[in-house]
Amino acid sequence: MKIDLALKSDFNLIDAFRLFDVNSCGFISKQDLVDGLQMNLNYGEAISPVDVALLFKRMDRDNRGRLTFN
């Protein structure tokens, strides 16, 4: 179902971010990322904590442990 949504022209990057930001707080934490992958894409077991930490190390420029849409 999520893949079908992604292929529709009205599904955009903001919609994808909202799949992970389920509390609408404007950012996602490491746990939000893992939970989102598990719930939305059935991918959570294939991602390791090391992978998540590396992603956040690269993308979280201010080292606050969260990613914003910007």
**CATH classification for the domain delimited by 2-68, as one of 1.10.238.10, 1.10.1240.10, 1.20.120.350, 3.40.630.30:** 1.10.238.10
pTM of model > 0.95: no
CA separation for the pair 50, 40 (Å, rounded)? 21
So what's the pLDDT on residue 5?
A: 72
So what's the pLDDT on residue 38?
A: 85
So what's the pLDDT on residue 47?
A: 82
Instruction: Report pLDDT digits (tens) over 4-41.
Output: 777 777 768 888 888 899 899 999 999 999 888 888 77
CB 21 within 8 A of CB 28: yes
Secondary structure class of 4 (helix, strand, coil): helix
SS (H, E, C) 18-63: HHHCCCCCCEEEHHHHHHHHHHHHCCHHHCCHHHHHHHHHHHCCCC
Give 27's strand partners: 68
So what's the pLDDT on residue 30?
A: 94
Question: Which position has the higher pLDDT, 66 or 48?
Answer: 66
